[in-house]
Structure 1
Amino acid sequence: MQNLVQDELTVVLVQPDIKWQSPAQNCEMYVRMLDEHSAKADVIVLPEMFATGFSMDSRKAAQNMDGESIVWMKQQAAQRNAAVCGSLAIIEDGEYYNRMLWVEPDGSVQFYDKRHLFRMAGEHERYQSGEGRVVVNFRGWDILLQVCYDLRFPVYSRNRNDYDLALYVANWPAVRRYPWRTLLAARAIENLCYVVGVNRVGVDANQLEYSGDSMLLDFKGEIMCDEVQGKSFCASKTLLKTDLLAFREQFPAYQDADDFTLTL
């Protein structure tokens, strides 16, 4: 774990056209994209199931926690001195998970298992649901990890004044791009936090089209970065914690939030 506290946090959004069930080919593509972008990064965000696409063939898609894609994430994190995150299909103790991995430059790994499984695709029949939300601390920033369909459930992501930035990694089809964009803004506004949403483009093996619409929004819901629709792209933006804290002090709506206990 890296405990260096810094005001600035540079986030790189990676919006790819994922090759179906092709982890090695996809990782090679990400290296090319990141090398071409070449900007300094603190956090590199890849989409949901970045190695395979949103596959419900869990047995074919899943890797273990020592699998090739996690090894690759560790290599990239160390080489680029940045945290690398994104979700993979993972098998552990005989169960399958849509697991968001958070890999730091020192090789440490934290993870969050997707809580809300997308039943309209049968995901709840192929993967196990996660049991709790996860907030990681990196370079003085508290960061909430979330996956795709989690975006639709605001109680689960409610900021208890315990995070500064929420990351949503997704394979969110183009037919629902308006809810994607609207809900990302809503999560930023209601939680007084920065929000990053990273999605893919292209057409997958199920003939679902993806428009991308990867975005970064500030604590007022204003767009800081809005990726080119329908195209593969890398983009980076630097966040300032002093701006976030100043706004929270000026507009402390969180102090009037309803108290509740989330039962999972």
Structure 2
Amino acid sequence: MKFKENIKVSLIQTHLAWENPKDNITEFSRKLEQLTGVTDLVILPEMFTTGFSMHPEGLASNNQIYRYLKREAKKGAFAIYGSVMFKEKDRYVNRGIFMRPDGTYTLYDKKHRFTLAGEQNVYDCGDKPVIAEYLGWKFNLQICYDLRFPVFARNTQNYDVLLYVANWPIPRINAWDALLKARAIENMCYTIGVNRTGVDGNGMGYNGHSQVYNVLGEELIDHPWENQNMKTVLLQKEHIKNLRNKLKFLEDQDPFTLK
């Protein structure tokens, strides 16, 4: 796999058609086509085919979603990361899929289920953080509620970018803003959060606030960003190297491991 010192990452912040995989897939295909030749990696929201639904029966993705993302990634010559409700044999998971343009992929099943919505009653969970490698960069894959648990994102693997895809509602958007910034600072990494907009089938509203923070917790997108749109930012490996060499905070972490 080739190495790129600088990469472009595109964030798609958009409404989601409630529990309507066909319409969402059609809309994302249109948006992804616009990013051909523009970017190296595209980030989609959590459960991008349905919205954050607790009704996976008949709506959950199967292996066809891998084929769809593989086709789109190859066509656009970029990687794609987003999550879907997924049926795995006789169980359901909230599955993050990091698809590369060569057709290889890395999977992450959401660890922290959102008990306020009863997610733990519907979806099984993953058991560990997952790192996806692409173009010489290491991406820590996370999903929505994971953001509230800093130990799970602890940078002991020398990763470069922390990715969160979400359906994070308006009433708690201040927490989203604050915690994304905190994760960037404490892990000395780029941190990217992609949230949806619009209103879901439960009447819950979303206003985006998708963002990219650098190692110092500085915003790379004008804030707040609340409309449907796509934005592309440049990530620089030298930014990470220089600041980690100068400010060796990661070397002073307390030694412990997750069970």
TM-score normalised by length of structure 2: 0.96
- Once the two structures are TM-superposed, the CA of residue 62 in structure 1 deviates from its matched residue by 1.1
1:121-200 map, 5 Å: 121-200=117-196
- Once the two structures are TM-superposed, the CA of residue 28 in structure 1 deviates from its matched residue by 1.7
Partner residue in 2 for 1:58: 56
- Corresponding position: 1:4 with 2:2: yes
Matched-pair contact (CA < 8 Å) for 1:185–1:217? yes
- Once the two structures are TM-superposed, the CA of residue 38 in structure 1 deviates from its matched residue by 5.4
Task: Give the counterpart letter for 1:53 in structure 2.
Answer: G
- Deviation track 1:107-154 (CA, whole Å, cap 9, x = no partner) reads 112100000000000000000011111001100000000000000000
- Once the two structures are TM-superposed, the CA of residue 63 in structure 1 deviates from its matched residue by 1.7
- Structure 2 CA distance for aligned equivalents of residues 229 and 185 of structure 1: 15
- Corresponding position: 1:21 with 2:19: yes
Matched-pair contact (CA < 8 Å) for 2:111–2:126? yes
Matched-pair contact (CA < 8 Å) for 1:11–1:238? yes
Query: For structure 2, which runs of at least 5 residues remain unmatched after alignment?
Result: none
Q: Number of residue pairs matched?
A: 259
Partner residue in 1 for 2:31: 33
- Structure 2 CA distance for aligned equivalents of residues 106 and 191 of structure 1: 29
- Corresponding position: 1:92 with 2:102: no
- Structure 2 CA distance for aligned equivalents of residues 227 and 40 of structure 1: 22
- Deviation track 1:64-106 (CA, whole Å, cap 9, x = no partner) reads 2x22x33221111000111111000011121100000011111
- Structure 1 CA distance for aligned equivalents of residues 66 and 178 of structure 2: 32
RMSD value over aligned CA atoms? 1.3
Task: Give the counterpart letter for 1:249 in structure 2.
Answer: N
Structure 1 residues 146-155 or 229-238, which shifts more?
Answer: 229-238
- Once the two structures are TM-superposed, the CA of residue 161 in structure 1 deviates from its matched residue by 4.1
Task: Give the counterpart letter for 2:26 in structure 1.
Answer: E
- Corresponding position: 1:120 with 2:116: yes
Structure 1 residues 29-38 or 84-93, which shifts more?
Answer: 29-38
- Once the two structures are TM-superposed, the CA of residue 35 in structure 1 deviates from its matched residue by 3.6
Give the 3 Å change call, closer, same or farther, for CA 85–257 of structure 1 in structure 2: same
- Deviation track 1:20-72 (CA, whole Å, cap 9, x = no partner) reads 111121122123233445561111000000000001002233122x22x3322
Moved beyond 6 Å, runs of 4+: none
Matched-pair contact (CA < 8 Å) for 1:98–1:127? yes
Partner residue in 2 for 1:231: 227
Partner residue in 2 for 1:203: 199
- Structure 1 CA distance for aligned equivalents of residues 32 and 55 of structure 2: 29
Matched-pair contact (CA < 8 Å) for 2:32–2:76? no
Matched-pair contact (CA < 8 Å) for 1:78–1:105? yes
Task: Give the counterpart letter for 1:183 in structure 2.
Answer: L
Matched-pair contact (CA < 8 Å) for 1:42–1:81? yes
- Structure 2 CA distance for aligned equivalents of residues 242 and 144 of structure 1: 19
- Once the two structures are TM-superposed, the CA of residue 228 in structure 1 deviates from its matched residue by 5.6
Q: Percent identity?
A: 39
Task: Give the counterpart letter for 1:85 in structure 2.
Answer: Y
